[in-house]
């Protein structure tokens, strides 16, 4: 069983360094381009099924990658793999978030959470519930999972050798993949932040 966990392509809010969370922002032109390039480079990988966050930026990225890679897999959505809810700070830049933004990136597990939103533990609970349920199927299939930066890190955190290193030093790049292989109910991370486009196109909008 192989699980390709994807962070969606770039949005205009991404390019401005704005936290979009549950804001349903579409892909921008560069986001669509990265998805096309990724999909074209992934020809030969057969996806049996795709599960996406319900937000447009995630579903559209999945649609493009499936189309460009020659896959006709169905896409279903699951609310558990939505991005973290930034609550009252949705639509704010990292600098506008002040101490909340700093703690969110520098010490996420000791961050008390966003006002009227979520904390890291909330996102870990729901995303890991999703991943564990998928792994338990042990069906030998290949899955594409289209999600978001913080949600991606939360989803695989329990599989890491050092779970306290939540961010791997940075937020996942747009259209990057964390790959998980599973058999007999046991799973391991085999790749982190893998991109299928030219690495010169990587932009890290949220450096620590």
Quick one: 67 exposed, middle or buried, by C-beta within 10 A (0-12, 13-18, 19+)?
A: middle
* β strands within 111-175, DSSP E: 142-147
Q: Strands 142-147 and 2-7, how do they pair?
A: parallel
Instruction: Provide φ and ψ at 7, rounded to 5°.
Output: -90, 135
Q: Which of 83, 90, 118, 148 is catalytic?
A: 83
Whether 8 is catalytic is yes
Do the Cβ atoms of 203 and 14 come closer than 8 Å?
A: no
What is the number of other CB atoms lying within 10 angstroms of the CB of residue 73? Answer: 18
Whether 83 is catalytic is yes
If you ran DSSP here, which 8-state letter would residue 161 be given?
S
CA distance 194 to 12: 22
Kindly list the catalytic residues: 8, 83
């Amino acid at each position: 069983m192989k699980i390709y966990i994807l962070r969606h392509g770039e949005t205009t809010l991404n390019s401005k360094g704005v936290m979009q969370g549950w804001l349903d922002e579409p892909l921008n032109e560069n986001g669509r381009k990265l998805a096309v390039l990724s999909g074209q480079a992934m020809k030969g990988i057969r996806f049996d099924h795709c599960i996406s966050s319900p937000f447009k930026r995630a579903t559209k990225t999945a649609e493009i990658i499936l189309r460009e890679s020659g896959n006709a897999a169905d896409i279903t959505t699951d609310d558990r793999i939505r991005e973290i809810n930034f609550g009252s700070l949705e639509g704010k830049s990292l600098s506008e978030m002040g101490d909340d933004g700093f703690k969110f990136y520098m010490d996420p597990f000791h961050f008390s959470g966003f006002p009227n939103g979520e904390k890291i533990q909330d996102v870990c609970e729901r995303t890991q519930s999703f991943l564990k349920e998928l792994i338990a199927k042990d069906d030998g299939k290949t899955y594409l999972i289209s999600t978001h930066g913080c949600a991606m890190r939360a989803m695989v955190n329990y599989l890491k050798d050092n779970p306290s290193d939540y961010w791997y030093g940075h937020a996942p790049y747009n259209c990057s993949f964390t790959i998980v292989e599973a058999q007999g109910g046991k799973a391991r991370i085999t790749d982190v932040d893998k991109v299928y486009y030219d690495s010169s196109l990587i932009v890290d909008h949220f450096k620590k």
